[in-house]
Structure 1
Amino acid sequence: MAEAAARAETGTGPVAIVAGAGRLPLLIAASLDRAGRACRVLAIRGFADPATRRRADATVDLLDVRGALETLCAWAPAGVTLAGAVARPSPAALLNTMAAYRNREALRSLASGGDDHLLRGVLALLEEHGLQVLGVRDLAPDLMAPAGRFGRVSPDEAAEASVASGRALLAGLSPHDVGQAAVVASRRVLAVEGPEGTDRMLARARALARRPLGLGRPPAAMVLVKRAKDGQDLRVDLPAIGPRTVKRAAQAGCLGIAVGAGDTLVLDRPETVALADRLGLFLLGLPADSLPPDPESPR
């Protein structure tokens, strides 16, 4: 543990990527490779994609807290980043019952409360072992949304008004840990993201916006707005969009997507932008001064 703390202090050692589902772990690894920074990947069994598992330097069970910490401390990394989706520990996730029993006290603490409680618990556990947690935007800023328009399509005045309404709505909901996204048409709120995630929220918005059998037109100036919650620890919980988000937003009837510039991941950015252009959706990065600060980010 002392060695891990020393490496974090001096900035030497590799960056450790704790990898869950999706392409983000490999995108971060590729960005670090381009920057000439060494990295090692710790894949979470049952969640990490096959390509990530092939790239991984080690693999652990979701509930093997001790094994994960021992591996990370042995690597003595300059920092650790958490990337990719994982499910909250549940009976269905008990792939290694001995690991779950051995770590039962830590798991009991992490599994109680909401998502913010869970993330704070994970951060505290890592930091107690001398591991510095770094955010994706600190390690791979090229993966973040830029400010302003980043496709060919521009929002009209009505769409900009919807974006402003959505941004104000999400700011008001931030203290309640509700979600990071909403679908708004002018001043009408069609859907707010809950635990089900953005894709399912867009499906609900599509159902509410159209008559049965998908007939009829969506409401005017319908947009998707996604941004970080106030006080959100952006080292471990970033909003994200990608090609699938663009496709689902178009299917729901949205004219475009507005996200927090510098605080929202854009996965597979060239493909995301090309698809938005092809479908006629605008992509807009909201100015940084409209977003919450990240007090935990390393200076």
Structure 2
Amino acid sequence: MPDRSGPEKLGLIAGNGRFPFLLLDAARAEGVEVVVAAIKEETDPEIDRRAQADSGIQVHWLSLGELSKLIETYQRAGVTRAVMAGQVKHKQIFSSIRPDWRLAKLLLNLRTRNTDILLGAVAKVLGDEGIELISSTAFLEPLLAQEGVLTKREPDEDERKNIEYGLSVAKGIASFDIGQTVVVAAQACVAVEAMEGTDATIERAGELMRTLDEEASTLQRRLTVVKVAKPKQDMRFDVPVIGMRTIETMISAGASCLSVEAGRTLLFDRDTMLQKAEESGIAIVGVPRGY
């Protein structure tokens, strides 16, 4: 029988990285009990230690593809609202997944299998079973990027031109659910994100520019990173996230400017990240939605 006693419980479907822990801390700070569905292929085992130290946290481990187990776990715990937090690598979704009967049936009925379509279908199945999937930014609104220049240094003229051009390219690829990040130099597209993720895209751009520099290319060395939300971004999953690792990757790649979409991009470790960016001469700007 479902456990409906006591306060409402929030389901947390935890991917990798710090996102699940930030959301967990924010929810617990508001006194919300959390039932974590930890993904064996992705979630940091530290989640178990959190549960051992806090009786308001339950952790259940399951593999990608175990949709029935997820539903049964939440129904037994009395969960009626759930949130996805943390990345599940795209290549994991398409290579490591071993679907149970429920997910296999869902996949067979999909005409396309990009992440938006797949996760949207999963959200519908959860909703049909009485589990509402809510925004990934729930409890974390203060971490959303603000509009305007976020660092002391503003983008220079060349970087602003890169941002203008990069936004047009990034919005194009995002509309096809290909990726959400492009890396630009001298108003030329150096790298486009696909399944590898933002940081790997920046690394690839840095490697390419080093090769071009060695060949005495006329392209300027400095890179501008432009990250956007999808035109019809579903805030329940795949919300753009920037953190310290992104800044460190930019430094290594020789990138000098970062543009994110205000109100739809989460900034993790905000103060530390901005300080690191300023120390390294990186300008960060939040562009308004629809810019």
The verdict on a shared fold, with TM-score over 0.5 as the criterion, is yes
Residue of structure 2 equivalent to 1:63 = 65
| Equivalent runs, 1:147-166 vs 2, <5 Å | 147-166=147-166
Residue of structure 2 equivalent to 1:267 = 268
Residue identity opposite 2:122 in structure 1: V
C-alpha distance in 1, partners of 2:37/2:111? Answer: 21
Structure-2 change in CA distance of 1:37 and 1:152 (3 Å): farther
Structure-2 change in CA distance of 1:272 and 1:248 (3 Å): same
**Correspondence for 1:29 among 21, 24, 30:** 24
Whether the 8 Å contact between 2:145 and 2:260 is mirrored in structure 1 is yes
CA RMSD of aligned residues (A): 2.9
C-alpha distance in 2, partners of 1:166/1:36? Answer: 42
Q: Is 2:78 the partner of 1:76? A: yes
Residue identity opposite 1:73 in structure 2: Q
Gap runs ≥5 in structure 2: 52-57
Structure-2 change in CA distance of 1:287 and 1:112 (3 Å): closer
Structure 1 residue 34, shift from structure 2 partner = 3.0
Residue of structure 2 equivalent to 1:297 = none
C-alpha distance in 2, partners of 1:286/1:216? Answer: 33
> What secondary structure, in the 3-state scheme, does the structure 2 residue paired with 1:26 have?
helix
Structure-2 change in CA distance of 1:192 and 1:92 (3 Å): closer
Structure 1 residue 207, shift from structure 2 partner = 2.1
Structure-2 change in CA distance of 1:185 and 1:40 (3 Å): same
C-alpha distance in 2, partners of 1:144/1:251? Answer: 25
| Equivalent runs, 1:13-162 vs 2, <5 Å | 13-56=8-51, 57=58, 58-87=60-89, 88-89=92-93, 92=96, 94=98, 100=100, 104-106=104-106, 113-162=113-162
C-alpha distance in 1, partners of 2:124/2:222? Answer: 43
> What secondary structure, in the 3-state scheme, does the structure 2 residue paired with 1:200 have?
helix
> What secondary structure, in the 3-state scheme, does the structure 2 residue paired with 1:224 have?
strand
Whether the 8 Å contact between 2:146 and 2:262 is mirrored in structure 1 is yes
Q: Deviations over 1:231-276 (max 9, x none)?
A: 2312111111111111111222211111011111212222211221
Structure 1 residue 93, shift from structure 2 partner = 5.0
Residue of structure 2 equivalent to 1:169 = 169
Structure-2 change in CA distance of 1:214 and 1:270 (3 Å): farther
Structure 1 residue 124, shift from structure 2 partner = 1.4
Residue of structure 1 equivalent to 2:55 = none
Identity %: 29
C-alpha distance in 2, partners of 1:54/1:121? Answer: 32
Q: Is 2:282 the partner of 1:287? A: no
Structure 1 residue 74, shift from structure 2 partner = 2.5
Structure 1 residue 136, shift from structure 2 partner = 2.2
Residue identity opposite 1:177 in structure 2: D
Structure-2 change in CA distance of 1:256 and 1:70 (3 Å): same
Structure 1 residue 102, shift from structure 2 partner = 7.4
Whether the 8 Å contact between 1:14 and 1:39 is mirrored in structure 2 is yes
Structure 1 residue 285, shift from structure 2 partner = 1.1
Whether the 8 Å contact between 2:87 and 2:238 is mirrored in structure 1 is no
Residue identity opposite 1:43 in structure 2: A
Residue of structure 2 equivalent to 1:293 = none
Gap runs ≥5 in structure 1: 291-299
In the comparison of the two structures, how many residue pairs are matched? 280
Structure-2 change in CA distance of 1:207 and 1:220 (3 Å): closer
C-alpha distance in 2, partners of 1:230/1:171? Answer: 7
C-alpha distance in 2, partners of 1:270/1:216? Answer: 38
TM superposition score normalised by structure 1: 0.82
Structure 1 residue 214, shift from structure 2 partner = 6.9
> What secondary structure, in the 3-state scheme, does the structure 1 residue paired with 2:195 have?
coil
Residue of structure 2 equivalent to 1:195 = 195
Deviates further, 179-188 or 82-91: 82-91
Structure 1 residue 184, shift from structure 2 partner = 1.2
Deviates further, 16-25 or 58-67: 58-67
Residue identity opposite 1:77 in structure 2: V
TM superposition score normalised by structure 2: 0.84
Structure 1 residue 112, shift from structure 2 partner = 6.2
